[in-house]
Structure 1
């Protein structure tokens, strides 16, 4: 599949312009957010339960139907099995070794959020400078690392509180295993390494512009987005920053991807009727979103907590982790269907 949508198209404005505008406008929040009630800091994750965040993965069962002409019954059965097996195995890892499961969650989310942005840049962002396998991997590593690594560098105390809170749900003593991540020397090494890689990736992909293979517009927008996200995740406390990014950046861009493989939704967007496209998305996502909530209820019953906001966030993130692994499998399959087996 070759990109036929652009930043100035309806789907381009919704998936590319809207997210960066929201993120950029809320950067100043990082200067005073700690002074506001905790409920404000947790608000993006609360909103993500019903608005974009959790629902964005609840249409996975329809992807084989829309991308390979698979019958609905078979599609639902196959995706259900993938979710049951991968989600069940990963949940067992959380019970056995929560520190390993947490590090795996960070790595998995790094890859998944990177793959989501790499697709969006090519499909909606006029990113002619991202065209080879090495370009895509460089972009994926940078884009996934921005929400997963930069908060560790700029907001280590807040990052550690969240990480320790998740691990402590299962084994409070296991938090010691991840303590080295938060040492100054570790963060300095990661920060320098990732900063150099960020600049190197832009220079590497810029070769297509210098060679005259594409215009500089996509590269400039890529650099602007990366710069905005570096500042955002450095300044804004992690709970608010990652929650907001999940809801209004990653999820929105994936919903745009869902729209372009749904002919009726795509037609509605092209006609400027975005409420109709959004209604189709929620119609498709509602059943499995409700089913996913049952997982969170089950986790709440299974894992003892004190009922605090921090504990509820930890439960939510473990549930998201369990759902993310099979979702990554489905999205990786989508990449191969839409761009071919040589995409990665």
Structure 2
């Protein structure tokens, strides 16, 4: 794959590892200190990071492809990204209004793929993970890494998982979540738990056999096993809020910095604030646009959000609508950076 500058890559790796440790440590510390945290407080990381990590992390989609191609940003390139978001985002928003249970299931699937692809890139670009030498091994890593936040909570916290599904779907159809009930049955969760657990073991074992350098595999294994514990122990609403902000969003922001020459130069000098300040400036217009989308959804949903869980559910629906076109951009970025081309 296309290599970022060595010093900037090392800095990105240190930052991604630091925020990864922070994510897991913060969640486990809260559980150990507070035990059962009131539901409203579990939403705090998700809600508090809306305009810090949540919406901004994908708000430079109109810039990343021209930058990685060493092209200028043009009116045409901006129009194409805008059209993508309008058509794909609006189409998916319509699915939420027509068949919200299907939309929720699609949200879980798309998020699994997207969060998995984000971690595969980080392992390859930041950590030089030579044990992911084939496309098949990278696809397996994608499913494992994306499955950790999406599948482990299903097995460990089915009631809270079902509550989140009911809250999101309930914004559009209070009875619609009944269609998802089979997913929370003990037999289904047992199959998911055993099957996914085997995939985790196979992925790490094959990686160990293929690794020429042990350190990248240790990073992969440590993060994977740490996330297994994290999502098995930390209540899912709190866990997803921490993970989305401090793990996934931070890693994607670092990825965007490495295709921006001034930001890369700042990382190389160790000037993280200058690099992040440039990102914040670039992300501000589209972040404001995302807030408009959020406000529009608030006016359009049949059930007006009136509680903290319902407001958070509205935000998650907004994230879902924005994520689908964002995944298209990231997938094109993967192609440009040859993430899925084995060396």
Common fold by TM > 0.5: yes
The answer to whether the 8 Å contact 2:101/2:177 transfers is yes
Counterpart in 2 of 1:295?
293
- SS of 2:51's equivalent in the other structure is coil
Counterpart in 2 of 1:119?
121
Counterpart in 2 of 1:179?
181
The answer to whether the 8 Å contact 1:6/1:126 transfers is no
In the alignment, the residues of structure 2 paired with residue 259 and residue 191 of structure 1 have an alpha-carbon distance, to the nearest angstrom, of 36
The one of 245, 262, 265 aligned to 1:264: 262
Counterpart in 1 of 2:18?
17
Q: CA offset at residue 2 of structure 1?
A: 3.1
Counterpart in 1 of 2:279?
281
Counterpart in 2 of 1:157?
159
In the alignment, the residues of structure 2 paired with residue 264 and residue 119 of structure 1 have an alpha-carbon distance, to the nearest angstrom, of 21
Q: CA offset at residue 233 of structure 1?
A: 0.5
- SS of 2:172's equivalent in the other structure is coil
Q: 1:144 to 1:46 in 2, by over 3 A?
A: same
In the alignment, the residues of structure 2 paired with residue 223 and residue 341 of structure 1 have an alpha-carbon distance, to the nearest angstrom, of 21
Counterpart in 2 of 1:135?
137
CA deviations over 1:91-125 (Å, ceiling 9, x no partner):
11111100110000000000000000000000001
Counterpart in 2 of 1:310?
309
In the alignment, the residues of structure 1 paired with residue 33 and residue 154 of structure 2 have an alpha-carbon distance, to the nearest angstrom, of 19
Q: 1:307 to 1:183 in 2, by over 3 A?
A: same
Q: CA offset at residue 6 of structure 1?
A: 7.5
The answer to whether the 8 Å contact 2:115/2:146 transfers is yes
**Unaligned 5+ runs, structure 2:** none
Q: CA offset at residue 37 of structure 1?
A: 4.0
- SS of 1:21's equivalent in the other structure is helix
The answer to whether the 8 Å contact 1:11/1:124 transfers is yes
In the alignment, the residues of structure 2 paired with residue 32 and residue 156 of structure 1 have an alpha-carbon distance, to the nearest angstrom, of 23
Q: 1:257 to 1:325 in 2, by over 3 A?
A: same
- Range moving further from structure 2, 42-51 or 321-330: 42-51
Counterpart in 2 of 1:46?
47
Q: CA offset at residue 280 of structure 1?
A: 0.2
The one of 86, 89, 92 aligned to 1:87: 89
- SS of 2:167's equivalent in the other structure is helix
**Unaligned 5+ runs, structure 1:** none
The one of 217, 220, 225 aligned to 1:222: 220
- Range moving further from structure 2, 111-120 or 49-58: 49-58
Q: 1:29 to 1:340 in 2, by over 3 A?
A: closer
Counterpart in 1 of 2:31?
30
- SS of 1:109's equivalent in the other structure is helix
- SS of 1:318's equivalent in the other structure is helix
In the alignment, the residues of structure 2 paired with residue 257 and residue 166 of structure 1 have an alpha-carbon distance, to the nearest angstrom, of 30
Query: Residues 68-83 of structure 1 correspond to what in structure 2 (within 5 A)?
Result: 68=69, 69-83=71-85
Counterpart in 1 of 2:328?
329
Q: CA offset at residue 17 of structure 1?
A: 2.7
CA deviations over 1:260-309 (Å, ceiling 9, x no partner):
10010011011011110010000000111011001111111111224100
Count of residue correspondences: 339
In the alignment, the residues of structure 2 paired with residue 71 and residue 25 of structure 1 have an alpha-carbon distance, to the nearest angstrom, of 39
Q: 1:67 to 1:7 in 2, by over 3 A?
A: closer
The answer to whether the 8 Å contact 1:64/1:70 transfers is no
Q: CA offset at residue 48 of structure 1?
A: 2.2
In the alignment, the residues of structure 1 paired with residue 89 and residue 63 of structure 2 have an alpha-carbon distance, to the nearest angstrom, of 18
In the alignment, the residues of structure 2 paired with residue 206 and residue 132 of structure 1 have an alpha-carbon distance, to the nearest angstrom, of 14
Q: CA offset at residue 340 of structure 1?
A: 6.6
The one of 235, 252, 259 aligned to 1:254: 252
Q: CA offset at residue 205 of structure 1?
A: 2.2
- SS of 1:280's equivalent in the other structure is helix
CA deviations over 1:190-216 (Å, ceiling 9, x no partner):
00000001000111222322xxxx211
Counterpart in 2 of 1:56?
57
Counterpart in 1 of 2:99?
97
Q: CA offset at residue 317 of structure 1?
A: 0.6
Correspondence 1:206 to 2:208: yes
Q: 1:156 to 1:145 in 2, by over 3 A?
A: same
RMSD after superposition:
1.8
